Copies of this chain bind each other. A is one copy, B any other.
Amino acid sequence: MERSTRQRSAIRAVIEAATRPLTPQEVLDGARTEVAGMGIATVYRNLKLLVEEGSVQVVELPGDSPRYESKHLDHHHHFQCRQCDRVFDVHGCPGDLTRFAPTGFRVESHELTLYGQCADCAGAASG
């Protein structure tokens, strides 16, 4: 049976409070403000658990390590800032992409990642 620990609550809270997908390290940093001395292994173990139970989803990015965010019900994609590496949600989707696949291929899903500058970095650069 699953227990409620200070560590697990802190991890859950950090992810729920976030406005963008976080790396395990970012989750640890956030959770440590509540539970000092928490170990990174605890973060990984709990992330895995939360993903399995369905309250958290993994955001996999091309060539970068995964981020974690609260489960959204809507289909969405992500934007990664080339400058600060942070990832943000992007709502909207180009729609049906099956027409791009070669003949005989069965398309089941897709991932779209936009790259560029986030508002913070674009503002800092031009301001």
- Please report the C-alpha to C-alpha distance between residue A111 and residue B21 in the assembled complex, in whole angstroms: 18
Closest residue on chain B to residue A91 by CB atoms: B100
A87 to B64, CA, bound (A): 18
Separation of A105 and B113 alpha carbons in the complex (Å): 14
Q: Which residue of chain B has its CB nearest to the CB of A77?
A: B100
Q: Using an 8 Å CB-CB cutoff, how does the interface string of A97-127 with B read, 1 for contact, 0 for none?
A: 1011111111111111111111100110000
B105, A115: Cβ atoms under 8 Å? no
Cβ-defined partner of A115 (8 Å) among B107, B116, B122: B107
Q: Report copies per complex.
A: 2
Cα-based distance from A97 to B66 in the complex (angstroms): 23
Report, as a range, how many residues of chain A touch the other chain.
35 or more
A61: contacting residue among B62, B92, B99, B110, CB under 8 A: B62
B114, A97: Cβ atoms under 8 Å? Answer: yes
Least Cβ–Cβ distance between A72 and chain B, in angstroms = 15
- Whether the Cβ atoms of B90 and A104 lie closer than 8 Å is no
Are B119 and A104 in contact (CB-based, < 8 A)? yes
B116 and A103 contact, CB distance less than 8 A: no
Partner of A63, one of B66, B90, B92: B66
